[in-house]
Chain A
Amino acid sequence: MQLDKKLIGHTFKPFTTTVEAGKIRLFCKAIGEDNPIYVSEEAAKKAGYRAIPAPPTFLTAITNDDPDKGGLLRLLNVDIGLILHGEQHYEYLAPVHVGDRITCQQKVVDIYDKKGGALWFVVSETELKDQSGKPVAKAKGITVVRNPDAAKK
Chain B
Amino acid sequence: MSTAPKFDDIKVGDALPPLKLPPISRHQLALYCGGSGDHNPIHVDIDFAKKFGFKDVFAHGMLSMAFLGRLVTSWVPQTHLRRLGTRFTSITWVGDVITVTGKVTGKREEGGQKLVDLEVKCTNQNGQDTLQGEATVALN
> Which residues of A does B touch, CB under 8 Å?
23, 26-33, 35, 47-49, 53, 55-57, 60-61, 64-65, 69, 79-92, 95, 140, 151
Q: Are B83 and A89 in contact (CB under 8 A)?
A: yes
Contacts of A33 in B (CB 8 A): 66, 70
The chain B residue sitting closest to A93, CB to CB, is B82
Closest to B83 in A: A91
CA distance A65 to B39 in the complex (A): 11
**Smallest distance from the beta carbon of A36 to chain B beta carbons, Å?**
11
Establish whether residues B37 and A61, one from each chain, have CB atoms under 8 Å apart when the complex forms. yes
The CA of A71 and the CA of B74, in the complex, are separated in Å by 35
Given that A30-B34, A55-B78, A57-B65 are contacting pairs, would A90 and B72 also be in contact in the complex, using a CB cutoff of 8 Å?
Answer: no
Residues of B within 8 A of A86 (CB): 87-88
Of A53, A56, A90, A95, most buried by chain B (CB within 10 Å of CB) is A56
Given contacts A81-B51, A92-B84, 11 further A-B pairs with CB under 8 A are A26-B31, A31-B67, A31-B69, A56-B69, A56-B78, A60-B36, A85-B60, A87-B85, A90-B85, A92-B81, A92-B82
Task: Please report the total number of B residues contacting A with Cβ < 8 Å.
Answer: 45
The answer to whether B62 touches A88, judged by C-beta atoms less than 8 angstroms apart, is yes
B21 touches A32 (CB 8 A): yes
* A91 vs B137: C-alpha distance when bound (angstroms): 11
- Flag if B85 contacts A64 (CB, 8 Å): no
Please indicate the chain A residues that have their CB under 8 angstroms from the CB of B140 in the complex: none
Most chain-B Cβ atoms within 10 A of its Cβ — which of A29, A79, A140? A29
**Are B83 and A90 in contact (CB-based, < 8 A)?**
yes
User: Does B32 lie within 8 Å of A30, measured CB to CB?
Assistant: yes
Stretch of B7-15, B40-48, B104-112 lying at the A interface:
B40-48
Q: Which residues of A contact B73 (CB under 8 A)?
A: 35, 55-56
Given A80-B41, A82-B52, A61 contacting B85 (CB threshold 8 A):
no
- CB atoms of B87 and A64 under 8 A apart: no
> Within 8 Å CB of A56, what residues of B?
66, 69, 72-73, 78, 81, 84
Q: Which residues does chain A contribute within 8 Å of B21, judged by CB atoms?
A: 32
Q: Is B79 an interface residue (CB 8 A)?
A: yes
Most buried by A among B32, B70, B74, B83: B70
